[in-house]
């Protein structure tokens, strides 16, 4: 093959025949490429086509000859970065080949190959870019830590100091009773440090700082998650239910003792057969006007309170959710403080407590069942911020609507749906820190005749961990946004904030579940050893997808909120409203669906934040309009709205997912814009780009079906995700070190310096 034009095609031939990566379709793509080159003569085209004939493969000698030619051409040429660069080197002239660069670049995208990956097949040990990649931080770790900690840096530092003390060494006993007592003792230490009462009013001994409380919950999650949940049950669910649903008389009576852990308690909402359906609770609170009491009663076994934290061993009181009955009339679910045990731990008359026993995780938390047999409590034990019984024995409420009152009552407890995703986020950070540090040190395989290579240098290993790292940073900023909105909420925003909290609880906890599974597998056998903590993180966070609301149910709540917002903007989902919505969406989408945009693959475009945002918005709006259209069609066809929603439940999850992904993307974009330090901004920009493109890649089937992108573009995105992982790899260890997790909390031998 002396013709310099034809020499340029050697790398393509070798690429086709040296591996099994290319399919028949891609052979066809290569043949189409050859026939499109008009500067080739017919004879030259026929010759080249004969070299990509599946029925006529080259001999081993010919393959070896091609490889030898390529190795000679790239020797000592550091500028070789792509298949085209090899072609130029082989041709010995730029006369015939230089104009082909756009065609070669397009072909690489069409074939979905990365030039650098091809080139590594020909480099010697000394030139192996896989072997030579190493950790080399390009930014000041402390600056990223400061960005992540934000305004809560002082309280975060204090909590880290406390949980790094010797008395917080992990409990290794497999005796569930020993573990529970250790966790209880830890909670006492935290109470003595005034961390438990952080959210309560100052006049009742608290710190009156909810932002710090959330930061405490998240930071404690670097330690034992049983501690976090026990802490959250006592000071969050039990204490804040009194604070949120009660009035001054309840604050004065209970809050100081709750905050000091003198009065351990429970949050008794969930029943055996009415988990997420709070309206369906069967426990009753019957008012007795003659002696000014309520009788709390469990009518059947399926109405017992179940999975209640602090119930099995330590709880002395509980906020009990029960249907208020006055003169035979049901006034809906209300909240009551009910004593369970005396100060010596003895169960009170009429109270039956069971132990949920050993669980999949969180075995330092004493979950139990509670049943009430005609238990009388005084009238003042009703938490009466939103409803009460007056001196005449009549029901009163400042909120006349039963529905609105019910959702207002539950809305005050939305803080739990902020604490749990932030706790899950911390667990994901711990898992990633362990896995990435280990992957940087663990060596395996390597170039021929060379030394072993850190497994984090391998593209697939980067693919397994680094998009998860990018997503964890993204979720961090999204949860900061959610927290700030909650802390600065107005009444008119509450429904949206509640839906966002429900959605982010699902998004974050599902993300953590997936991340920890990948971390376990990426660590290999070491990840299966309890000493390396992935098992505890996995098992303890598994229930996060269920409590504070089952994730799938919560996502339906989010979707219904989005449909509600849709109605507000475009009418009662009538045909005209839907048409208007689709039209408004189409006006922006039509320009992006033109052949140029759907096939646009240049780096500047793929890395453009505006392209990312518009792609996310388009998906969100299109899925929402489709769901609205489908529901309307079903209802118009005679289905009850309840049944119509049931039919489209799978689509409702997509509506919620697309909405949340857009929110997370926007908050990552907003966070990067605030960064002033150039090096920090550069690495966070790469992380942001990796998050955005990996999410688009995950949803590429939808984008292809919708016609928003063509295959050439999704292949280019895949290639760019690979490249971003490679570019971020040197900073990966520094990026997890920026989480600043105490070494004593990480504890995993494979991760601790």
Quick: pLDDT tens for 492-529: 888 899 999 999 999 999 999 999 999 999 999 988 98
Given this model, what pLDDT does residue 59 score? Answer: 81
* Strand (E) or helix (H) holding 741: none
Rounded mean pLDDT of 413-423? 90
CA 649 to centroid of chain Cα atoms: 21
CA 469 to centroid of chain Cα atoms: 10
Burial class (CB in 10 A: 0-12, 13-18, 19+), 705: exposed
Is pLDDT above 60 for 31? yes
CB 522 within 8 A of CB 464: yes
Task: Look at 116-125, 132-141, 168-177, 414-423 and tell me which has the smallest mean pLDDT.
Answer: 116-125
- Confidence label for 133 from pLDDT (cuts 50, 70 and 90): low
pLDDT digits (tens, 9 = 90+) for 441-475: 876 765 655 677 888 988 899 999 999 999 999 99
The two three-digit tokens of residue 226, written as one number: 């049983």
Rounded mean pLDDT of 139-162? 96
- Confidence label for 1 from pLDDT (cuts 50, 70 and 90): very low
Asked if the 416-746 domain carries CATH number 1.20.140.10, the reply is: yes
Architecture of domain 265-407: Beta Barrel (2.40)
CB 329 within 8 A of CB 277: no
The strand pairing partners of 323, in sequence order, are 284, 333
SS3 call for 100: helix
Angle at alpha carbon of residue 35, lines to 30 and 39, rounded to 5° = 120
Bigger pLDDT: 99 or 221? Answer: 221
Rounded mean pLDDT of 339-346? 95
Helix 494-523, helix 649-674: angle, nearest 10: 90
CB 295 within 8 A of CB 334: no
Is pLDDT above 80 for 7? no
Sheet holding 368-372, edge to edge: 305-308, 368-372, 351-355
SS3 call for 347: strand
pLDDT digits (tens, 9 = 90+) for 89-127: 776 554 455 667 777 777 777 766 655 555 655 554 445
Given this model, what pLDDT does residue 67 score? Answer: 77
How far is Cα 278 from Cα 256, in angstroms, rounded to an integer? 29
Task: Look at 2-11, 160-169, 408-417 and tell me which has the smallest mean pLDDT.
Answer: 2-11
Is pLDDT above 60 for 583? no
Task: Look at 213-227, 393-407, 423-437 and tell me which has the smallest mean pLDDT.
Answer: 393-407
Using CA atoms, how far residue 622 sits from 500, 585, 661, in Å, is 20, 7, 14
Closest listed residue to residue 486, CA positions, set 159, 199, 155: 199
Domain boundaries, the chain: 4-123, 265-407, 416-746
Closest listed residue to residue 287, CA positions, set 350, 253, 329, 319: 329
How far is Cα 38 from Cα 43, in angstroms, rounded to an integer? 12
pLDDT digits (tens, 9 = 90+) for 643-681: 888 888 889 999 999 999 999 999 999 999 999 999 999
CB 750 within 8 A of CB 523: yes
Q: What are phi and psi of 466, to 5 degrees?
A: -75, -35
- Confidence label for 406 from pLDDT (cuts 50, 70 and 90): confident
Closest listed residue to residue 423, CA positions, set 527, 537, 555: 537
């Amino acid at each position: 093959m002396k013709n310099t034009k034809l020499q340029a095609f050697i790398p393509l031939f070798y690429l086709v025949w040296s591996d099994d990566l290319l399919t028949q379709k891609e052979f066809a793509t290569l043949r189409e490429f050859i026939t499109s080159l008009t500067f080739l003569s017919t004879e030259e085209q026929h010759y080249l086509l004969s070299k990509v004939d599946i029925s006529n493969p080259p001999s081993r000698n010919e393959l070896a000859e091609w490889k030898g030619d390529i190795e000679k051409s790239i020797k000592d040429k550091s500028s070789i970065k792509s298949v085209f660069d090899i072609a130029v080197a082989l041709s010995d002239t730029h006369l015939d080949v230089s104009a082909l660069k756009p065609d070669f670049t397009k072909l690489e995208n069409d074939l979905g190959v990365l030039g650098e990956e091809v080139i590594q097949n020909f480099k010697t040990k000394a030139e192996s870019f896989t072997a030579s990649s190493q950790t080399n931080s390009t930014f000041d770790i402390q600056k990223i830590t400061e960005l992540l900690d934000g305004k809560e840096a002082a309280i975060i530092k204090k909590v880290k100091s406390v949980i790094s003390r010797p008395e917080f060494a992990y409990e290794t006993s497999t005796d569930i009773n020993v573990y529970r007592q250790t966790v209880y003792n830890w909670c006492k230490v935290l109470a003595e440090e005034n961390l438990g009462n952080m959210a309560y009013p100052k006049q009742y001994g608290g710190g009156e700082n909810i932002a710090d409380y959330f930061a405490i919950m998240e930071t404690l999650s670097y330690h034992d998650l049983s501690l976090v949940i026990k802490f959250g049950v006592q000071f969050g669910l039990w204490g804040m239910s009194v604070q949120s649903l009660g009035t001054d008389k309840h604050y004065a009576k209970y809050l100081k003792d709750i905050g000091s852990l003198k009065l351990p308690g429970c949050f008794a909402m969930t029943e055996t057969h009415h988990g997420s359906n709070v309206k369906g609770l069967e426990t009753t609170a019957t008012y007795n006007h003659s002696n000014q009491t309520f009788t709390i009663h469990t009518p059947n076994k399926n109405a017992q309170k179940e999975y209640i934290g602090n119930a099995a061993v330590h709880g002395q009181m509980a906020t009990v959710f029960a249907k208020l009955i006055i003169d035979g009339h049901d006034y809906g679910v209300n909240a009551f403080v009910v004593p369970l045990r005396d100060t010596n731990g003895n169960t009170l008359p009429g109270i039956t407590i069971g132990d949920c026993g050993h669980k999949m995780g969180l075995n330092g938390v004493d979950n139990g069942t509670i049943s009430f047999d005609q238990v009388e409590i005084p009238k003042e034990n009703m938490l009466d911020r939103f409803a009460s019984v007056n001196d005449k024995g009549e029901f009163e409420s400042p909120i006349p609507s039963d529905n609105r009152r019910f959702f207002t009552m539950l809305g005050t407890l939305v803080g739990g749906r902020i604490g749990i995703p932030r706790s899950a986020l911390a667990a994901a950070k711990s898992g990633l820190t362990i896995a990435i540090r280990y992957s940087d040190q663990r060596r395996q395989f390597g170039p021929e005749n060379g030394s072993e290579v850190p497994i984090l240098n391998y593209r697939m290993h980067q693919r397994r961990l680094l998009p998860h790292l990018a997503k964890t940073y993204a979720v961090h900023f999204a949860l900061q946004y959610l927290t700030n909105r909650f802390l600065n909420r107005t009444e008119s925003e509450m429904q949206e904030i509640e839906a966002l909290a429900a959605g982010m609880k699902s998004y974050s906890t599902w993300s953590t579940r997936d991340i920890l599974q990948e971390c376990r597998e990426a660590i290999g056998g070491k990840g299966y050893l309890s000493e390396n903590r992935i098992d505890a993180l996995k098992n303890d966070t598994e229930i996060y997808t269920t409590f504070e609301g089952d994730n799938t149910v919560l996502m339906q709540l989010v979707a219904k909120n989005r449909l509600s917002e849709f109605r507000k903007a475009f009418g009662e989902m009538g045909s005209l409203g839907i048409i208007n919505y689709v039209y408004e969406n189409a006006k922006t989408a039509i320009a992006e669906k033109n052949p140029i945009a759907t096939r646009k693959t240049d780096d500047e475009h793929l890395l453009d934040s505006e392209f990312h945002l518009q792609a996310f918005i388009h998906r969100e709006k299109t899925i929402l309009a489709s769901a609205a259209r489908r529901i309307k069609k079903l209802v118009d066809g005679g289905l009850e709205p309840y049944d119509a929603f049931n039919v489209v439940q799978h689509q409702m999850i997509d509506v919620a997912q697309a909405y949340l992904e857009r929110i997370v993307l926007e908050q990552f974009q907003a966070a990067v814009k605030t960064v002033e330090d150039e090096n920090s901004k550069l690495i966070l920009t790469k992380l942001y780009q990796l998050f955005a493109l990996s999410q688009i890649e995950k949803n590429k089937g939808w984008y292809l079906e919708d016609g928003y992108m063509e295959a050439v573009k999704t292949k280019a995105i895949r290639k760019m995700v690979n490249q971003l992982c490679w570019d971020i790899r040197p900073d990966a260890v520094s990026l997890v070190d920026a989480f600043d997790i105490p070494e004593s909390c990480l504890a995993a031998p494979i991760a601790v310096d």
